[in-house]
Amino acid sequence: MSIKDYTAHQLSIIIDSLSEEDLKKSLEVPPNREMGDLAFPCFILAKHLKQSPVQIAKELEGKLSSSDVFDRVEATGPYLNLFLPKRKLTEQVISEILVDGEQYGSVKASGHQIPIDLSSPNIAKPFSMGHLRSTVIGNAVANLAEKNGYKPIRINHLGDWGTQFGKLMTAYEKWGNEHAVRKSPIKELNALYVLFHEKAKEDPSLDDEGRAWFKKLEGGDSNATALWKWFREESLKEFEKIYELLDVSFDAYPGESFYNDKMQAIVDELNEKKLLVESDGAMVVDLEEFDMPPALIQKKDGASLYATRDLAAAKYRKSTYHFAESLYVVGHEQSLHFQQVKKVLLKLGYDWAEDMKHIPFGMILQDGKKMSTRKGKTVLLEEVLKQTIEQAKRNIEEKNPTLKAKEQVAEIIGVGAVIFNDLKQSRLNDVEFDIEQMLRFEGETGPYIQYTYARACTLLTKGSWGEMKETNPPYNIDEAYLWDLILTLEHFPSIVERAFHEYEPSILSRYLIVLARYFNQYYGKVRILSGTDEEQQARLHLVKSVTVVLKEGLRLLGIKAPEKM
């Protein structure tokens, strides 16, 4: 039960004219804690009671002051300020967390499925910073969906189809070297692709050759298929290394190629419903009524397009997963594309297209400029992650050289730092990529939260938590920051709910920063392993609760929590 539930329930006993639900909604958090934990705005009762809000506040104060459901009640103008019964609620919150453990804040599974399109890099090309963001945000949203009772289906919609593969095959046939491709596939294939474009500027016939190769591929030609399969496999091997480092896995890998045999059906359907019109030889769906440019469905030479494949994919996902909603975690540059796909589906009469949601995000910047993983001197993402891990290792060497399992901890810290740095701001904001900054132990970083967790774990070991976890101590400790901590811990379930419904992992990241900060303040003021046995037990129960929430919060973001660091 949340603190607002508790308060609304108590108020409903003495207020008849509003439901408990409405009372709960009306509760406000006062601008500062001195004014109370919650405030009830009495003007919302004025009409019903035909009294002034000030009078109502006074009357309610009188009624509640004589009971013990609140520690204190104060009428301040039209507001009734409420001070919650600290000890009772402290006991409730801590016992709920310790009983539920990592299930604290979880919603019972509803069975509804939510496909989440995430990561989706393009084969034969470097894994970009944008794909990193999609992977990290998508994975956190998937974890949050699960926590909220849904079944997420993580789908990697690999960019493994399209005319660019015809171009790549042309380039490989003409200038490629098998050995070089095997050695560093992405670098080599990307270089071939760049070379193709340079040469095609002078010799436009190359473009025709590229188109012809892609036609062969679409038609199932064995030569083309073999080459394509090889490029795909080599690229996937590279991507796997990144997924392993990030510890992200997928439920399904149907790349764009998966829809090759499902697109004619879409084209036929659009034709039957008279939605296809010709434009410069290509087939398009007109979207002028929505003030949008037309959606390109088929090229002059009959080749399919990105949008066609997304239409087929959307239908496939609906019939396979009967989704409650279908999410696409893709950069904001593709907003128009997703709006167009949705409108075409609606024109086809598929109302469920309303449940498709594009979840856009901003760019990753370095020194204020777009960070690129392209071009000849390619910085590959894997290398960037390795650099971060190396730096984390150097930091450990400096701060805690006797730490066990250094390599492993360095990886957890390095990768956690990158993920947290990405998730700590609203996803639409651009993110600055600064390795030194994101690895700092103070401030708003992943390592800061991890370090707080490890510190708390050390306290539990020192205090022999293992021997006392069954006790149920009274909480007659009234210490600095205790109440802030309790209120924050109590918020966790509502944070998890909001972070999912707004598809905004930063709500959870920011919450973890606040929780860690309060804990460190508490730890700085209070000697936890001092005083009577009962006091120590009470404090250790609190510390344990903090570790449960920090660890689960980090897990939801896709970050691991080391017990020592």
Stretches 41-49, 117-125, 235-243, 277-285: which one binds ligand ARG (CB under 6 A)? 117-125
Nearest distance, CB of residue 259 and ligand ARG, angstroms: 10
Q: Which of 546, 515, 557 is nearest to 93 (CA)?
A: 546
> In terms of CB distance, is 116 or 561 closer to ligand ARG?
116
Nearest distance, CB of residue 564 and ligand ARG, angstroms: 39
Nearest distance, CB of residue 250 and ligand ARG, angstroms: 13
What one-character-per-residue DSSP string does 506-520 give? HHHHHHHHHHHHHHH
> In terms of CB distance, is 120 or 257 closer to ligand ARG?
120
- In the window 118-137, what residues touch ligand ARG (CB under 6 A)? 120, 122
Distance of alpha carbon 83 from alpha carbon 87, whole angstroms: 12
227 beta partners: none
Assess contact for 166 and 211: CB atoms under 8 A: yes
Distance of alpha carbon 148 from alpha carbon 498, whole angstroms: 10
Stretches 11-19, 115-123, 413-421, 476-484: which one binds ligand ARG (CB under 6 A)? 115-123
> In terms of CB distance, is 124 or 546 closer to ligand ARG?
124
Other CB atoms within 10 A of residue 80 CB: 26
> In terms of CB distance, is 210 or 255 closer to ligand ARG?
255
> In terms of CB distance, is 338 or 483 closer to ligand ARG?
338
Q: Which of 248, 247, 283, 277 is nearest to 264 (CA)?
A: 283
> In terms of CB distance, is 238 or 535 closer to ligand ARG?
238
Q: Which of 60, 81, 74 is nearest to 14 (CA)?
A: 60
> In terms of CB distance, is 6 or 161 closer to ligand ARG?
161
37 binds ligand ARG per the rule CB under 6 A: no
Assess contact for 557 and 419: CB atoms under 8 A: yes
493 binds ligand ARG per the rule CB under 6 A: no
Assess contact for 423 and 506: CB atoms under 8 A: yes
Residue nearest to ligand ARG (CB): 159
Question: x/- binding map, residues 332-361, to ligand ARG, per CB under 6 A?
Answer: ------------------------------
- In the window 145-204, what residues touch ligand ARG (CB under 6 A)? 157, 159
Assess contact for 483 and 401: CB atoms under 8 A: no
Backbone phi, psi, residue 306, to 5°: -45, -50
Stretches 114-122, 243-251, 288-296, 441-449: which one binds ligand ARG (CB under 6 A)? 114-122
Nearest distance, CB of residue 348 and ligand ARG, angstroms: 18
Nearest distance, CB of residue 117 and ligand ARG, angstroms: 5
114 binds ligand ARG per the rule CB under 6 A: no
Nearest distance, CB of residue 324 and ligand ARG, angstroms: 18
Query: Among 330, 345, 538, 565, which residue interacts with ligand ARG (rule: CB under 6 A)?
Result: 330
Nearest distance, CB of residue 29 and ligand ARG, angstroms: 39
The set of residues, in sequence order, having a beta carbon less than 8 Å from that of 254 and lying 6+ positions away, is 155, 157, 313, 316
| C-alpha torsion sign, points 92, 95, 96, 102 | positive
> In terms of CB distance, is 283 or 312 closer to ligand ARG?
312
| C-alpha torsion sign, points 393, 397, 400, 404 | positive
| Beta strands at 276-279 and 282-285: parallel, antiparallel or unpaired | antiparallel
Nearest distance, CB of residue 422 and ligand ARG, angstroms: 17
Place of tokens 């401030």: 443
Cα distances (Å, whole numbers) of residue 526 to 87, 93, 471, 546: 18, 20, 21, 15
Nearest distance, CB of residue 134 and ligand ARG, angstroms: 7
> In terms of CB distance, is 120 or 488 closer to ligand ARG?
120
Nearest distance, CB of residue 418 and ligand ARG, angstroms: 19
Backbone phi, psi, residue 332, to 5°: -70, -15
How many residues form the binding site for ligand ARG (CB under 6 A)? 9
What tokens were used for 146? 């699960």
117 binds ligand ARG per the rule CB under 6 A: yes
328 binds ligand ARG per the rule CB under 6 A: yes
Nearest distance, CB of residue 244 and ligand ARG, angstroms: 20
> In terms of CB distance, is 104 or 361 closer to ligand ARG?
361
310 binds ligand ARG per the rule CB under 6 A: yes
Q: Which of 92, 72, 126 is nearest to 1 (CA)?
A: 92
Other CB atoms within 10 A of residue 456 CB: 26
Distance of alpha carbon 510 from alpha carbon 265, whole angstroms: 46
Residues across the chain: 565
Strands (E), 92-211: 113-117, 151-155
Nearest distance, CB of residue 409 and ligand ARG, angstroms: 33
> In terms of CB distance, is 53 or 159 closer to ligand ARG?
159
Cα distances (Å, whole numbers) of residue 565 to 202, 227, 274, 523: 58, 47, 64, 18
Nearest distance, CB of residue 254 and ligand ARG, angstroms: 10
> In terms of CB distance, is 340 or 509 closer to ligand ARG?
340
Q: Which of 301, 325, 307, 228 is nearest to 263 (CA)?
A: 307
> In terms of CB distance, is 162 or 493 closer to ligand ARG?
162
Nearest distance, CB of residue 461 and ligand ARG, angstroms: 46
Helices 129-147, 533-557: crossing angle, 10 deg rounding: 130
> In terms of CB distance, is 352 or 441 closer to ligand ARG?
352
Q: Note the residues at the interface with ligand ARG (CB under 6 A).
A: 117, 120, 122, 157, 159, 310, 313, 328, 330
